[in-house]
Structure 1
């Protein structure tokens, strides 16, 4: 199994394969499927393809080939489906696995484990691998680690890798906004 409790602390260890595809799921959702981030509405990019390629480059994951407009449109649908998985919607995740032909297999030289058919196009391959990684995290009882930011006005998602799975916010800016808001509410009361 790719995720197992570490023998001493009980902290879950996510292997690099699963972690890599969960990171892709987070990137797709945060770039293509959120309407609010850090308390502000997110304007859809004028050129979603260029924005997505820039996000991949920022994370050091440039695509193996240039994305087309059709790829970007299909990835937006995948991102919406994956976003539902972060909210605990396993039915939509299961539909995504089936729709994109997720099937474990070995291919390449040297052989690499993948969850898409060897001939799958880029979008189906990414969707199948990312959805499988999310399913693996959920399937071993660690679904609570797939989180959405709890700050008001933020829909960004993340994988909580803290020891006790207690992370609540996507980053410090949202954490600071939430704490400041709670402080002001206490002062008014």
Structure 2
């Protein structure tokens, strides 16, 4: 059973809407910008068709109204690179603020039944996604939970994650990086 971030005690300020957008931002950043994962060098997709293929199922979630194009995929790679600095020990808030402005983050109600969206009504799918994701990340930071937007601390891994642990103590993107870091620390202690 997966525990959703907004259901964990102590995270009442992060609702389901914000949690989903933060997770989508993590997926996009990891898929389109990371070149080192779990101790191995990887090649992020280099062009529109490869990027569109790499984001796969996420593409339909990002743009349910129309299929994404290769040009949209290239723009999403730019957005992912723009959001990447927000994850880590010292997040770059200026970058996030610039993204909010550039992509026209404006709250409004849309649909029937109405739901809150954080982009202009006439925004294209990339700007709509970028504005909503940047707003969600700003909301996480704004309620004092910015420490949950993390980057893996293991050597050779640049993956980012949204920490949903109860006490926001997660340091690694996954078990493989945690095991590699612990084994490396053990070998270093044995050498000394």
Q: Which runs of 5+ in 2 are unaligned?
A: none
For 2:114 and 2:33, the matched residues in 1 are separated by: 33
SS of residue matched to 1:98: helix
Q: Write the mapping of 1:77-116 to structure 2, written as runs, cut at 5 A.
A: 77-87=78-88, 88-116=91-119
Of 173, 178, 185, the residue aligned with 1:175 is: 178
Offset of 1:91 from its aligned partner? 0.1
For 2:114 and 2:121, the matched residues in 1 are separated by: 11
Q: Which runs of 5+ in 1 are unaligned?
A: none
Q: Is the 8 A contact 2:105 2:132 kept in 1?
A: yes
Q: Is the 8 A contact 1:33 1:76 kept in 2?
A: yes
For 2:172 and 2:179, the matched residues in 1 are separated by: 9
TM-score normalized with structure 1 length: 0.89
Of 128, 132, 137, the residue aligned with 2:135 is: 132
Offset of 1:66 from its aligned partner? 2.1
Q: Is the 8 A contact 1:53 1:67 kept in 2?
A: no
TM-score normalized with structure 2 length: 0.88
Aligned residues: 180
Extract structure 1 runs of 4+ deviating beyond 3 A.
60-63
Give the equivalent residue in structure 2 for 1:148: 151
Give the equivalent residue in structure 1 for 2:11: 12
Offset of 1:123 from its aligned partner? 0.2
Offset of 1:61 from its aligned partner? 4.0
Match status 1:158 vs 2:161: yes
